[in-house]
Structure 1
Amino acid sequence: MDQVDDKSLTENSAPANRTSLWGGRFAGGPSEALARLSVSVQFDWRLAPYDIAGSRAHARVLAGAGLLDPEELGRILAALDDLEAACASGAFRPTVDDEDVHTALERGLLERLGSLGGKLRAGRSRNDQVATDLRLYLRDHARGVASRLVELADALVEQAERHVDTAAPGMTHLQHAQPVTFGHWLLAHVQPLLRDLERLRDWDHRTAVSPLGAGALAGSGLPLDPVAVSKELGFRTSFANSMDAVADRDFVAEFLFITAMVGVHLSRLGEEVVLWTSHEFGWVELDDAFATGSSIMPQKKNADIAELARGKSGRLVGGLVAVLTMLKGLPMTYDRDMQEDKEPAFDAVDTLELLLPALAGMISTMTVRVDRLVAAAPVGFSLATEVADWLVRKGVPFRDAHEITGKLVALCAVRDCALDEVSDEELAMVSEHLDPSVRDVLSVRSALAARTTPGSTGPGPVADQLATAADRLAGWREWAAEQVVPR
C-alpha cells in the first residue's frame, strides 16, 4: 500500500463520527493547526498490512488470555481479513480525519464490527504498534533491497566474466598506476555490495525483536503473551525492556546507515561509469535504452543513470543524518519527534528500489571497448613497478630498486620513450643492476600473469574471485527471497 497524498485524503469523504484513539479527557477537539501538524496517515498508510498482521496476532493473544471468546475472535479475524482486502483493492482508504494508519484501520474495524472492534485496543498502544509495524515493514523491504543489490552484483559479475583477461590501466589518484584486468576492476565494485548484503543480514538479526506487548511504555497489566506474538509475526524474540521497546529507533538509524553506505557505493560506481563513457576515456558505450540525449545538442549521449546514482546518494546520507539528529537527546520513552523516523526510511527504500534496477540494466547492457582499454593499459609508465619487482627478485633491496626505477622513468620522460625502448647502454647507465633481460617483464601481459596471489588482478585469481562471488550471490539470492512477515 503506497503513500497517500494530501489531495486523495481531501477527496475522501469523512466519516459521520470522527474516529480518535484519544480525547476522553479533552473538552474539545484539536485545533486545525495541531491536526495538520500531527497527521501522518499520508505517509504511514503503507504500514497498513503490517498493522493488520499485528492486530491478528494481538487478537489471538487476547483470546488466549480469556479477553475474547472464540466467537468474538472469529469475527475479529474475519473483519481483519476483509479490511485487509479492502485496503489492498483501494475500497478502503484513509480520510482527512484519520490521524494516522492506526486510527484509519480502527475506523475500518469499527465500521465492520461495531463496539466489538474496540476490544482490540486492550493491552496495546500506538507506541508499541508503530514500533512493531515499522520493524515488520523494514524487515520485509530489506529483502527487496537485497534482491535488487544481488541483481546489480550479478550484472557486474556477468560483465567481469567477459573480461577476465582484458587489460586495463589501473589507477590511483586517477593517474595511471599499474595494469589490471577490467574483470578485476568490475569485481572491485561487487565486493562493497556483498558487504552491504552482509550488513543487511546482521541488521535483520538485531531488528527481529518484537515490541508488541510493551504498551505505551510499562508493559501490560493484562495476562498477555508477547513471546507468542513475536513468533506469530516472524520475529526471533520479544522485547527485554518495555521502555526501550517503544523508545528504540536504533533499527531505523542502522537501516539508514546501510542504505547511505549503499548510496556511497553506487555513487562511486556511477562516477566511474561517467568517466568511462566520456570522450577522454572512451572505454565504455552505454546502450541507448540506458542513456539520454540533449534537448539542444543532437550528438550528446549522457550517462544520466550513473549521474543520478551520484546525486541520490545525497538524499540517502541526508536521511541518516536527519534521523540521528532527531534521536539525539530524546528522553525516554516515546516522543512525538519519532514521527519523523518513517519518511526517511520509506524514502530510502523507494530510492533504492527505483535506482538499483536502472543501474543493473545499464551495467548489463553496456559495451566495453576492449581496444581502448588495452591501448591505455601501459600508458603512463604503468609497468615501472614490474622493473622494481624484477630488481627485487635479483636481490636488490626494494628501497634501492624503487630509486633505480624512478631514475629509469625520469630518463624515459626526458627521451619521450617507453620503458622497453631504452637502449642497453642507457639501462647500464641508469644502474649496474639493469640489463636487457629486464625487457622480459615490460609487457602488460607478463605483468598480469605475474599477479597470481589470491585477490590479485591476474586472470587466475580473477577467475577464483568470480567463482566465489557467484557462490555468495546464490546464497544472498535465497536470503532475499525469504518471507519474514506472515501473509
Structure 2
Amino acid sequence: MDDFLRAGRFDEKMTDDAAAFSTSIEFDQRIFEEDVKTNRAHTTMLMEEGIIPEDAGVKIINALNKLESEGLSALNIDPSFEDIHMAIEDYVTNLVGKEAGFMHTAKSRNDQVCTDIRLKLKSEIENTTKNIKQFITTIVEMAKENLDTLFIAYTHLQHAQPTTFAHHLMAYANELRRDCERFYDTYKRVDISPLGAAALTTTGFPINRQRTAELLGFSEVMDNSIDSVSSRDFVAEAAFDYAMLATTLGKIADEIVIWSSYEFRMVECSNAYSSTSSIMPQKKNPDIAELARGKSTVAYGELMTILSMLKAIPHSYNRDLQELTPHLWNTVDNTNDILKIVHGMVATLTINKERTKQLASANFATATELADIMVREKNLPFRSAHTIVGKIVSDSIEKGITTEDIDNEFVNKVSEEILGEPIELGEDLIRQALDPALNVKSRTVKGGCAPSAVRDAIDNMEKFLNE
C-alpha cells in the first residue's frame, strides 16, 4: 500500500510488524480536518504563485473538498500507511491520478504535521478557554447569591478566620482566570505557521509562506525553518497549562470531598454526582469528586513524558516527535473531562448555611480581630496584642468556655497578667471583635471578604469574562 512513497528508494516493503510499530495513523485521525486544510491552503498558494498547473491544482482542491464533506470514514485507514498524510494522498490520488503528486510540491510531511498540530491545538485551546470562562461565570453567579453566607477559612486545615462562601468561591474564579490567561499566552506561541519550511531548509520554489499562513488563520510565520519542523516546546507549554488547570480542578474536587463529610457537613453533593456503597446502604459517597481529584494527576505524567522525549533530541526533525502528540491529546481530553465534571458538581452543590455559620463562630476563629482591635483602639503593639489574645484563647480552652463567654473582665484579667494593667476595651468592642458577621464586614480592603470587597472582585471578574 505504501509503494508510491517507498518505491524510488527501496526495493522491498516494510515487515508488517515494523509498519505497525512505526505508523501513527490511529492517533493521526485527530488531525484529519487540519491536514485537509493544510493541503488545500498549500495547493491554493502553489496555484496562485504559478508553481503548479492550475488545472491540476483545481482537481486536487476539488478532491480535498470532497474528502472534507465525506469525512474521515472515506479514507482507507490502513496500517501500512505511515500516517494520515499518506492516507489522504492515497484518496486524492485515487480521484485525480498522478497529478495528485503536485500537492506535495515544496512541502514535506515534516512541516505539514507541525502545521496540523498547531492548527488543532489552537482549536483545543479555544474550546478549553471557552469552557473555563463558562465555569467562572457559574462561580460568579453563585458568589452573588452568597455574599453574606458565613463560611470558615482554613490554614493547615485548621480553623483560621471567618469569611464568606462568596469570598471562597471567588478564590476559585481567580485561579481559573489565571489558568485561562496562561492558555491565552501559550496560544500566541502556537499561532505561528511552520508551513513552507519543508523538510528543514525550505525549498527552491518561490513559495509564499505569508499566503498559506493567511489562508490557515495563523498570525505570523516562523522565522527559522529548522526550528519550524523541530520545535515542540509549544506542545510542552500547552501540556503544562492543562496540568496546571488540572491542579486547580483537583484542589476544588478535594475540598468538595472534605466539606461533604459528616465531620464538616458544609456542603452536600447532588445525587447526580454521588454514589453509594455496595454493602453499606446509608452511604452517600463523593465518588465523582474523588475520581476528578485522582484523574487530575494524569496530566502530570503526560507532561513529564513529553519533556523527557524532548530532552535529548537533536535538531531538526526526528521520528520520536511523532510520539508526543498522543500524550498531548490525552492531556487535553482528560483535563477537559475533569473541567466539565467539576463545573457540574460545583454548580449543583447545596451549601449548609447553618453549619457554615456555626463553624465560622467556633474555635476562636475571630481571635485575630480581637488582637487587631487592641492595636486600633489602644495603640498596643501587635505582638503584645497577639500575646494577650493567645493567652485568652489558652485560658478559655482550659476552662471550657467559648467566645460568647469572653467579656471585658476576662480580657482585663489576662491583660494585667501580660502588661501589668487592664486594657479596658469595653463590652461593645469585644462583642464586635468576636462576632463573625461583623468580623467579615470589617475586611473591606481590596481582595477582602467583606461583601463590598467581594462585589468589587465580582465586577472585575465580569470585565474579564466580557473581554
TM-score normalised per structure 2 = 0.95
1:226 to 190, 199, 209: 209
Aligned to 1:65: 49
- Structure showing greater relative contact order (alpha-carbon pairs closer than 8 Å, 6 or more residues apart): 1
**For residue 435 of structure 1, what is the amino acid of its counterpart?**
L
Contact 1:292–1:301 under 8 Å retained in 2: yes
Determine the C-alpha separation between the residues in 2 that align with 1:21 and 1:168. Answer: 67
1:407 to 391, 404, 417: 391
3-state SS of 2:297 partner: helix
Aligned to 2:426: 436
Per-residue CA deviation, residues 326-384 of structure 1 (Å, 9 max, x unaligned), is: 00021000111101110111112211332222221111111111111001102111011
Determine the C-alpha separation between the residues in 2 that align with 1:104 and 1:294. Answer: 49
Q: Which runs of 5+ in 1 are unaligned?
A: 1-16, 476-487
Query: What is the deviation of 1:22?
Result: 3.9
**For residue 82 of structure 1, what is the amino acid of its counterpart?**
K
**For residue 468 of structure 1, what is the amino acid of its counterpart?**
N
Structure 1 position 351 matched with structure 2 position 343 = no
Instruction: Give every structure 1 segment of 4 or more consecutive aligned residues whose post-TM-superposition deviation is greater than 4 Å.
Output: none
Deviates more, 1:173-182 or 1:144-153: 144-153
Aligned to 2:81: 98
Deviates more, 1:353-362 or 1:383-392: 353-362
2:464 to 461, 468, 472: 472
Listed as ranges, the matches of 1:234-273 within 5 Å are: 234-273=217-256
3-state SS of 1:334 partner: coil
3-state SS of 1:25 partner: coil
3-state SS of 1:96 partner: coil
Contact 1:144–1:353 under 8 Å retained in 2: no
**For residue 332 of structure 1, what is the amino acid of its counterpart?**
H
Determine the C-alpha separation between the residues in 1 that align with 2:296 and 2:273. Answer: 19
Aligned to 1:216: 199
Contact 2:150–2:356 under 8 Å retained in 1: yes
Determine the C-alpha separation between the residues in 2 that align with 1:356 and 1:80. Answer: 35
Aligned to 1:14: none
2:10 to 2, 19, 26: 26
2:410 to 426, 429, 443: 426
3-state SS of 2:97 partner: helix
Q: Which runs of 5+ in 2 are unaligned?
A: 416-421
Aligned to 2:350: 367
Determine the C-alpha separation between the residues in 1 that align with 2:319 and 2:424. Answer: 74
Aligned to 1:3: none
3-state SS of 2:296 partner: helix
**For residue 471 of structure 1, what is the amino acid of its counterpart?**
K
Aligned to 2:119: 136
2:69 to 74, 85, 101: 85
- Aligned-residue identity in percent: 37
Determine the C-alpha separation between the residues in 1 that align with 2:43 and 2:95. Answer: 16
**For residue 18 of structure 2, what is the amino acid of its counterpart?**
L
Query: What is the deviation of 1:474?
Result: 2.6
The root-mean-square deviation of aligned C-alpha atoms, in Å, is 1.4
Contact 1:132–1:212 under 8 Å retained in 2: yes
Contact 1:86–1:92 under 8 Å retained in 2: no
**For residue 340 of structure 2, what is the amino acid of its counterpart?**
P
Contact 2:23–2:82 under 8 Å retained in 1: yes
**For residue 216 of structure 1, what is the amino acid of its counterpart?**
A
Aligned to 1:120: 103
**For residue 347 of structure 1, what is the amino acid of its counterpart?**
N
Contact 2:374–2:425 under 8 Å retained in 1: no
1:45 to 6, 17, 29: 29
Contact 1:277–1:286 under 8 Å retained in 2: yes
2:307 to 308, 320, 324: 324
Aligned to 2:401: 417
Aligned to 2:419: none
Determine the C-alpha separation between the residues in 1 that align with 2:210 and 2:466. Answer: 33
**For residue 83 of structure 2, what is the amino acid of its counterpart?**
D
3-state SS of 1:410 partner: helix
**For residue 161 of structure 1, what is the amino acid of its counterpart?**
K
**For residue 194 of structure 2, what is the amino acid of its counterpart?**
P
Determine the C-alpha separation between the residues in 1 that align with 2:356 and 2:4. Answer: 66
1:207 to 190, 195, 200: 190
Query: What is the deviation of 1:144?
Result: 0.9
3-state SS of 2:74 partner: coil
Residues 434 and 312 from structure 1, CA distance in 2 versus in 1: closer, same or farther, beyond 3 angstroms?
Answer: farther
